[in-house]
């Protein structure tokens, strides 16, 4: 699975210089493909977290694609009313190399305007009570409605 994604990236990377328009189209289709793979293979923690958000009536986008100029990120959850990205971190996020990658990703997301980010490890995400989850979310005040 990951080898397929890497191969797709390698193929479209070759087009960046020669054909930037086609590169962008390929980047978008790769992002959408990868997003669908993540949705189709969601973890039990993601399923449980979705149920918690639904129970709290918190609107969310699952596996949201965020585009940068020549790359993209897919975040686990985006809560538009709060402007909040929520990342659920599995066990491999405790490895130093992955922690460093997560820090770089966070810096990039902030540069792209996603300044509100909440990281929960899977164990906490699964065991957190709804009230405590709402307290975590409410640390990030709701954004004012644009048409209010």
Tens of pLDDT, residues 117-138: 888 888 888 887 777 888 888 8
**What's this model's pTM, rounded to 2 decimal places?**
0.78
CB neighbourhood size of 91 (10 A): 10
Question: Would you put residue 112 in left (φ > 0), alpha (ψ -120 to 50) or beta?
Answer: alpha
List per-block mean pLDDT (blocks of 10 residues) for the chain, which spans 148 residues. 65 66 81 92 92 93 91 93 88 64 85 88 80 82 53
**CA quadruple 107, 120, 75, 141: dihedral positive or negative?**
negative
First to last CA, the chain: 45
CB neighbourhood size of 88 (10 A): 21
């Amino acid at each position: 699975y990951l080898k397929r994604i890497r191969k797709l990236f390698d193929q479209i990377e070759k087009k960046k210089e020669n054909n930037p328009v086609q590169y962008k189209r390929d980047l978008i289709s790769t992002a959408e493909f990868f997003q669908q793979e993540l949705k189709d293979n969601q973890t039990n923690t993601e399923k449980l977290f979705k149920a918690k958000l639904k129970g709290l009536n918190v609107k969310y986008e699952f596996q949201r694609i965020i585009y940068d100029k020549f790359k993209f990120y897919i975040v686990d959850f985006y809560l538009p009313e709060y402007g909040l990205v929520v990342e659920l971190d599995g066990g491999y996020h405790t490895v130093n190399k992955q922690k460093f990658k997560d820090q770089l990703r966070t810096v990039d997301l902030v540069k792209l305007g996603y300044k509100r980010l909440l990281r929960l490890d899977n164990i906490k995400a699964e065991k957190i009570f709804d009230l405590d989850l709402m307290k975590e979310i409410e640390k990030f005040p709701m954004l004012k409605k644009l048409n209010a």
